[in-house]
Amino acid sequence: MASIRSGRLGQPPHFAHTLPMHAALKLINHRFQQPDPGATGTPGVAAPPVSMVSQQPGTTPLVLDSPHSGTFYPHDFGAVCDLPTLRRAEDTHVEKIYAFAPALGVAWVEAHFPRIYPDANRDTTELDTTLLDGEWTDPISTDPKVLSKVRLGKGLIWKFTDEGEPIYNRLLSVAEVRARIDRCWRPYHGAVAQAIDAAHARHGYSIHINCHSMPAVAASHATEFPGMVHADFVVGDRDGSTASPALSALICEHLRGCGYSVEYNHPYKGVELVRRYGNPAQHRHSIQVEINRKLYMDETTLEQHPEGMARLQADLQALVHKLLVTDPR
């Protein structure tokens, strides 16, 4: 395996152009001023975003995406659960944690739709067809590992909350599921693929960080490890198949050096977004990073912990600077 070449930490390379300061401040302010939909009462009452996906182009080899922090619940969701219950599935505030990234020339992609509407971190073949009122004629996965997630209710369209509560008291039409894929899933993947392709074309390699958060303790229907007390961070590269293990080790070592507990590929190895876009043999590296929500928020009220948020942002900004001067070829 080729060794990782790195410049000095904190010294951005010549390609790390930044946005004008007024644009960066405007973007960061926009992120922090986004209204929480929990304050609006019920799904669908907030004004819809212009697009279900936002993207900021980059100038560096680094691409960050947040597929699960979306807070706009479309009017056609038709869920039986109330909004506070639905919101427990969100990777709440992840887009705020990384709000600094675009000003550093890092490409950014963000979903505005909730992960349970369709989950952008699942393939379209990972669909529980028992949710549907008609025949699904597209391919369906037969992979046992994929099916284990589907049985938990965590396929492309979620069937159950992390606590095992049914999300629907009705069957979904085939047409509405296809509409969700076309409106949300395809644009999201198109934006991520475009950002990674552009970074790779500019620099001959790309580093893609798939940004997530996780509860302090795994709920009964969240994973195959219910009740697990999570580390502060979990870094996943699907056992080295989506990124150079040396690059993943650099991330783990940085985070441990900041005083965090870190697990590698357990219990989360990374799912569709790193599987689909990671190909280290072609110098395309994709790594999933999970942050424990206890570090920056109250998991019941969803309120931010300002001190924890500030610490995370500082430590992750230092990590981004380190990645910007790291050539994994």
Exposure of 142 by Cβ count < 10 A (0-12 exposed, 13-18 middle, 19+ buried)? exposed
Beta pairing class for 107-111 and 53-56:
antiparallel
Cβ–Cβ under 8 Å, residues 216 and 230: yes
Distances (CA, A) of 240 to 37, 251, 274, 279, 288: 38, 13, 11, 10, 12
Report the 10 Å Cβ neighbour count for 296. Answer: 23
Exposure of 27 by Cβ count < 10 A (0-12 exposed, 13-18 middle, 19+ buried)? middle
How much of the chain exceeds pLDDT 70, in percent? 85
Res 5 pLDDT > 80? no
Q: Which domains does the chain have, with CATH numbers?
A: 5-120+184-327 (3.40.630.40)
Query: CA 37 to CA 248: how far, in whole Å?
Result: 35
Output the six-digit token pair for 251: 């991330």
Res 54 pLDDT > 50? yes
The tokens 């995370």 sit on which residue?
A: 312
Q: What is the pLDDT of residue 48?
A: 63
The model's confidence at residue 250, banded by pLDDT at 50, 70 and 90, is: very high
The tokens 């689909």 sit on which residue?
A: 276
DSSP 65: E
Query: CA 90 to CA 116: how far, in whole Å?
Result: 8
Q: What is the pLDDT of residue 47?
A: 59
Q: What is the pLDDT of residue 308?
A: 97
Res 41 pLDDT > 60? no
Which residue type is seen at 327?
A: D
Q: Which residues have a Cβ under 8 Å from the Cβ of 113 and sit 6 or more positions away?
A: 52, 70, 72, 74, 183, 184
Res 36 pLDDT > 80? no
Query: CA 303 to CA 259: how far, in whole Å?
Result: 23
Look at 31 and 131; give whichever has higher pLDDT: 131
Report the 10 Å Cβ neighbour count for 28. Answer: 16
Look at 177 and 146; give whichever has higher pLDDT: 177
The model's confidence at residue 50, banded by pLDDT at 50, 70 and 90, is: confident
Output the six-digit token pair for 130: 């028992």
pLDDT digits (tens, 9 = 90+) for 187-213: 999 999 999 999 999 999 999 999 999
The model's confidence at residue 223, banded by pLDDT at 50, 70 and 90, is: confident
Output the six-digit token pair for 187: 């644009």
Look at 48 and 118; give whichever has higher pLDDT: 118
Query: CA 305 to CA 47: how far, in whole Å?
Result: 27
pLDDT digits (tens, 9 = 90+) for 80-98: 999 999 999 999 999 999 9
pLDDT digits (tens, 9 = 90+) for 255-288: 999 999 999 999 999 999 999 999 999 999 999 9
Average pLDDT, the chain: 88
3-state secondary structure of 289: strand
Beta pairing class for 262-264 and 233-236:
parallel
Q: What is the pLDDT of residue 42?
A: 34
Q: What is the pLDDT of residue 40?
A: 27
Res 14 pLDDT > 60? no
Lowest mean pLDDT among 48-52, 153-157, 318-322: 48-52
Query: CA 88 to CA 146: how far, in whole Å?
Result: 23
The pTM of the whole model exceeds 0.85: yes
Q: How far is CA 152 from the centre of its chain?
A: 20
Res 23 pLDDT > 90? no
To 10 degrees, the CA torsion angle through 271, 277, 279, 284? -130
Q: What is the pLDDT of residue 220?
A: 83
